[in-house]
Amino acid sequence: MSRRGNPAPDLIIAATDANCTGLNNRIKEINDASGSTPFFTIVPAIPDPHIERWLLLDGAAFRRVFGRGCDAPDQKCSRDLYKQRLTDAVLAAGTEPILGGIEFAEEIVREMDIERAKQADHSLSSFLENLNDQFRQWMP
């Protein structure tokens, strides 16, 4: 149920990796695909270039989850680079990643210092600021 009392959602978070096409190109694709949506708001969540990079941003959070930290990721666009780095970091911490480490996303994010992570990554900052802006619009 939405805030307006009907079954349509008030907000949809559209999540997709930028996949080296760039944040602005992905936002345009989402906007083009959604068309005119007067009934709900879309907030894009677009890790640039890949979601696995977001999970590697806070080495201290990684340490709290796995008992061993990880190196901060650089900003490169290379297919599967961050997938491999996440897998390697989880393996180095002594855990076997069944899904490449992405299965630990909730635990890692729960431990993250979000403000520090936002400073380290423009795409994460953009998503969280847009989401916060939307929440502020709903406040009386």
Give tens-digit pLDDT for 16-47.
999 888 888 998 998 888 876 667 788 999 99
Model confidence at 1: pLDDT above 50: no
What does the pLDDT read at residue 3?
Answer: 55
Burial of 131 (0-12, 13-18, 19+ CB in 10 A): middle
What whole-number distance in Å separates Cα of residue 93 and Cα of residue 105?
15
What whole-number distance in Å separates Cα of residue 111 and Cα of residue 106?
9
How would residue 139 be classed by pLDDT, with cut points 50, 70 and 90? confident
